[in-house]
Every structure is written in structure tokens, then in C-alpha cells.
Amino acid sequence: METLESFVAGEWIRGSGTPHALHNPTTEEKIAETSTAGIEFRRAVDHARDEGGKNLRAMTFAERGDVLRAMSRVIHASRDALIELAILNGGNTRSDAKFDIDGASGTLAYYAELGKELGSQKFLLDGDGIQLGRSPRFFGQHVLLPRRGVAVHINAFNFPGWGFAEKAACALLAGMPVVTKPATSTALLAFRMMKLFDEAKCLPRGALSFVAGSAGDLLSHLGGQDVIAFTGSSDTGSIIRLMPNLQKASVRINVEADSLNAAVLGPDVPPGSDTYRMFLNDVARDVTQKAGQKCTAIRRVFVSKDQLAQVQGDLLDRLREAKVGDPAADGVTVGPLATAQQKRDVTAGIELLAKEAAVVLGSGPFERVGVTGDKGYFVPPTLLVSEAPETLARVHDHEVFGPVATLMATSGRAADVAALVARGGGGLVSSVYSDDREFAADMIFEIGPWHGRLVMGSEKLSDQMPGPGTVLPHTIHGGPGRAGGGEELGGARGLAFYSQRTAVQGSRPILEAILGKKENKA
């Protein structure tokens, strides 16, 4: 059995004390253990700030991009071995594992290219310079300078690969060193990635540290130049936000929390059309992919009353094709949830939703391919239906983080649908499927402010879009309200969190000579 180690202050360290067990969610067997007790986190952050920060700030964007490219290649070169670990520790099917691992290497490669484009500069100009006085000489220029602290990244259990990479890519490219921490329960994949990076020596000293387990007192050592990017539950996000030392020092915190993402079928969309198929594919994929354990997965599905019967029948047909079981077995499309606690939470969540909506799929015994006995943290695809969504409470505010969605019938009027979507309290992403431009426009302006991202499905795009569940590095990820209020990625926008925006005022010729002109603008 493997014992994970942390990589801090330039060395691999095994924690002391009682270790935390990692399990195979298909068999429930213990497969590894880890502890971070006894690790000196003050030394870890000091080393990252001093060594890593200095080394990264000395590099140009192009050079930092080269580091990201090397990391991307390291992951890609070990793709098959990493997929096996995602199956073993995450309960991912092969396809789910690729989603996470290729998402990681792809995001790093995207930011490597951005680094190349930003070229030989070491910081960014933010917008045009501004004449501040009567003469053009008194001038102001906003600049984005790498912050002098450390970026602590805390990730959720469901994306140990991509979750690590999407945060690390932005911080490292901006010139900030990273201390990254996966969720303990699924840390095996991120641990192996970190080992591979270290073996390949692809990072400057101090640029990336790795905490294999509990954060311990890590956050108590942070100060005003440090940042925290957190992904996980709203409750943990709140605990972190309320830490007195972080509040006192105004430590910048980005929170990516949960979300009741919606899919809206426009009343104009006929069954069998391309737009309808796209809608159906996206909903069915999001219920089953990664056993529904994606923060971006569709949880609430809105259709008009006269579409309900057809959509319900078609969705049931699609979801009944799913095969639940050992993610390594041929033909299995839905693996187990990641942990025993997840299974308890999802089961309780379904019971809660079932008090106000009818369960039309998922109750009762179900087949588990390749599994003996009743081992494993399996939950079958589950669909609930309601014809009175405005009367529901829990469906609009309780995230069931598994293969579960609720189909609801509405009047089909944009204002009514928008009001229901907004009851999610702020989301990461919602999707609208319509070829009626007026309906699409109403939805963009009405539900846009409640989301970090909208996916507008329409006929001519049906073969080109990966669906709302896929986060693309070019556009932002995060959302207002219950989604955490955070914002990550979005191309060069993602670098701003790791930079200090400073307005420099002075003589135009002097500032332009020191800062450069427009060529390194964000």
C-alpha cells in the first residue's frame, strides 16, 4: 500500500501521526494513506515565497509558458498510468478519467501558448495609459504586477487533475509560486503528477509545492501578499473566508463552490430537431459523466408544459442505456461516487428532493456490472419530475452531487423560466437551447447576471459545442452567489487574481520608458 508524501520546501516529507486512508470506491478497499501532521507549513510558505517567487518573477511570460508546456507534456506522456489511478482512486470510467487528465494537460498547454504570445515581458499593462493633467506629460498607467506572496490552491475531490492544473497554470504564468492541496480522499492522482513533475525537473525551484492531505495550519501563515484559490463546498469556503488572520491581512480569496446549474429548452424547439438532440445529449451526459460529480453538471431541467411528456420519455430512454458498475469493466458508463460519505450525502439528498418531486428513475434495486456483492459507492442515474417548479424549495437550493437531475414543466414564458432559474441563487453555468432569437435574448439578459457562464445551444452549433459541463480555459469559470462569487481562467483574465493592479502616475516619457507601451497589454 502506498504512503503519500508532501513536497514542501524543496523536499518530499512523510507526515507523522495517524494517517488518513484513501479507498478504491468500487471495492471499498484501502489503497493508500497519508498524513500531513508534523509538516512545518511556515517553512513551506516561506520557501515558496522566497525561492519560487524570485525564480518565477525573473522569467518572462514566454519562459513561464515553457514551464507550463513541459508540465503538460509530462502529464500527457504518463496519460495511461494516470488514467489507471483515476479509475482506482476516483472511481472514474476511462472516459471520465480522460476528461480530468486531458483537461489538465490541455489547460496547461493553452496557458503555455498564452505565455508565448505575451512574450518577453514579465508583467502586464492593464489598459491604455491616461492623460491626467492639462498637459500630456502627467500620465497614468495601470499595471498588473506579480504579487510577492504564495498562491495556496485548495481543490475538491472530483477533479484532482484538472482542478490542480487550471489554478496552477494561471498562478505560475502570472509569476506566483503555488502550494497546491488536493482533497485527501482522491489525492493519489495529483500526488503522482507531482512526482512526475519533480522527476522531470520541469519547474523552477520553489515554484510548486504539494500538500498530500489536510491543510493543517497552512492558512494561518498567510499574509497580505498571498492568495487562496479554493474549490469545494460552500461551508468550507465560508470557514476559510471567516478566518481572522485572513480577514485582518485582506488575503485575497477566490471561492468556487456548488451550483444548481439549469438547462432550459426553448418552447420553440421541436422534438427530433438538432437543437433538441443537443439538449438531450447535454442533459444525459451531465447526469452520467463522472457519476454526476461535476460542479458544472446540469441539476435542473426546464421545459414547457407541452414538451414535458416527450422530454421525459426521451430522457428516460437515454438514461436507461447507462451501465452502472466497475469503471474498469467494458461498457460501464457510470462508476461509483468517490467516497462513502458522498454516497450517504447523495442518498440523503435524493430523499430530500423526493419529498417535493416524483422519482421516475433510480429508485429500487439496480444492476452493477462487474461488481460482486453490495460493495462500492454506487448510485444509479436518478431523474425526478415536477409540474409545479414554482412550489418547490429544495430542488432550487440543495445540490445533490451525484447522477441526479430534476425535470420541471414551466409556462414556457421567458420571464417565468428566468425567475425559476434565478432561484438557484447564482450558478457556474446554465444552458439554453433555442432557435428563437427573442427567447434567447431574453434569457441572456435575464439569467446572465446570475451566472459566470451561459451556453446558448442552437441548431448550427449542435455538432461543435462540448456542452455546459466542459470548462474551456478561454472563458471564465466561476459564478456569483452560492457558486462562491469567484472567477478563474478566461485567458489572460485569469492572471489578474495573482497580480496586483497598481496605478502608476508620473511623467509619460519616463513611465513609457520603464513600463513599455501597449505591446504587453492584458
256 lines the binding site for ligand NAP (CB under 6 A): yes
Q: Select from 91-99, 118-126, 213-221, 370-378 the region that touches ligand NAP (CB under 6 A).
A: 213-221
- The three cell numbers locating residue 174: 502570472
197 lines the binding site for ligand NAP (CB under 6 A): no
210 lines the binding site for ligand NAP (CB under 6 A): no
Nearest distance in Å: CB 217, ligand NAP: 10
181 lines the binding site for ligand NAP (CB under 6 A): yes
282 lines the binding site for ligand NAP (CB under 6 A): no
Nearest distance in Å: CB 127, ligand NAP: 28
Nearest distance in Å: CB 156, ligand NAP: 4
Nearer to ligand NAP, 22 or 283 (CB): 22
286 lines the binding site for ligand NAP (CB under 6 A): no
Q: How far apart are CA 251 and CA 359, in angstroms?
A: 44
Nearer to ligand NAP, 471 or 492 (CB): 471
CA angle 298-481-346, nearest 5°?
45
Give yes or no: 202 in active site: no
Q: How far apart are CA 497 and CA 486, in angstroms?
A: 10
Give yes or no: 256 in active site: yes
Contact pick of 170, 257, 392, 418 for ligand NAP (by CB under 6 A): 257
Nearest distance in Å: CB 407, ligand NAP: 20
Buried b vs exposed e over 329-368: b needs ≥16 C-beta within 10 Å?
A: eeebbbbbbbbeebbebbbebbeebeebbebebbeeebeb
487 lines the binding site for ligand NAP (CB under 6 A): no
Nearest distance in Å: CB 230, ligand NAP: 7
Q: Is 518 exposed, middle or buried (0-12, 13-18, 19+ CB in 10 A)?
A: exposed
Of 202, 295, 487, 488, catalytic = 295
CB 192 within 8 A of CB 82: yes
C-alpha dist (Å) from residue 15 to 62, 91, 213, 505? 36, 26, 9, 49
Q: How far apart are CA 319 and CA 375, in angstroms?
A: 23
- Contacts with ligand NAP by CB under 6 A: the residue count is 28
Q: Write the CB contacts of 77 (distance below 8 Å, at least 6 apart in sequence).
A: none
Of 5, 256, 399, 488, catalytic = 256
Contact pick of 231, 254, 307, 434 for ligand NAP (by CB under 6 A): 231
- The three cell numbers locating residue 519: 505591446
Contact pick of 5, 226, 282, 399 for ligand NAP (by CB under 6 A): 399
155 lines the binding site for ligand NAP (CB under 6 A): yes
Nearer to ligand NAP, 166 or 442 (CB): 166
Q: How far apart are CA 510 and CA 289, in angstroms?
A: 55
Nearest distance in Å: CB 187, ligand NAP: 8
CA 318, 321, 327, 329 dihedral sign is: negative
Q: How far apart are CA 430 and CA 448, in angstroms?
A: 9
Nearest distance in Å: CB 355, ligand NAP: 21
Pairing type for strands 227-231 and 151-154 reads parallel
Contact pick of 115, 204, 232, 292 for ligand NAP (by CB under 6 A): 232
Residues facing 349 on adjacent strands: none
27 lines the binding site for ligand NAP (CB under 6 A): no
470 lines the binding site for ligand NAP (CB under 6 A): no
Local structure of 486: helix, strand or coil: coil
- The three cell numbers locating residue 153: 490552491
428 lines the binding site for ligand NAP (CB under 6 A): yes
Catalytic machinery residues: 256, 295
Binding-site ranges for ligand NAP (CB under 6 A): 154-159, 181, 183-185, 213-215, 219, 231-233, 236, 239-240, 256-258, 295, 399, 401, 428, 484
